[in-house]
Amino acid sequence: MPGGTREAWEALAPILRAIAARAEDGEPCVEYMGPGGAGHYVKMVHNAIEYGDMQLIAESYDISRAASVCPRSNFTMSSRSGIG
């Protein structure tokens, strides 16, 4: 999620693409996000979504436990549904 000047991106893109994770189609998972600070902003949004997911898991575990439902069965069901 790099940001900065276009010139810096063009200079570093080959290196970043070489070390980036790859999607199923083989494309590198890296792209220029925009001018200074744009990469940090995208990363912040990504982290907020991820933290929301983790909170949802923790809350569902707590509710399951409070309702005397086996939390493991909850997570088994969610993983089968494609949620987890």
Q: Summarize pLDDT for 56-75 with one digit per residue, the tens.
A: 888 988 888 888 877 676 66
Q: What's the CA angle centered on 35, arms 32 and 41, to 5 degrees?
A: 80
Q: Summarize pLDDT for 14-71 with one digit per residue, the tens.
A: 999 999 999 999 999 999 988 888 888 888 999 999 999 999 888 988 888 888 877 6
Residue 28: per-residue pLDDT? 96
Q: For this structure, is 24 an active site residue?
A: no
Q: Which member of 7, 24, 27, 43 is catalytic?
A: 43
Distance CA 56, CA 4 (A): 34
Residue 1: per-residue pLDDT? 83
Q: Which of 56, 60, 54 is nearest to 72 (CA)?
A: 60
Q: Which member of 10, 27, 50, 59 is catalytic?
A: 50
Q: For this structure, is 59 an active site residue?
A: no
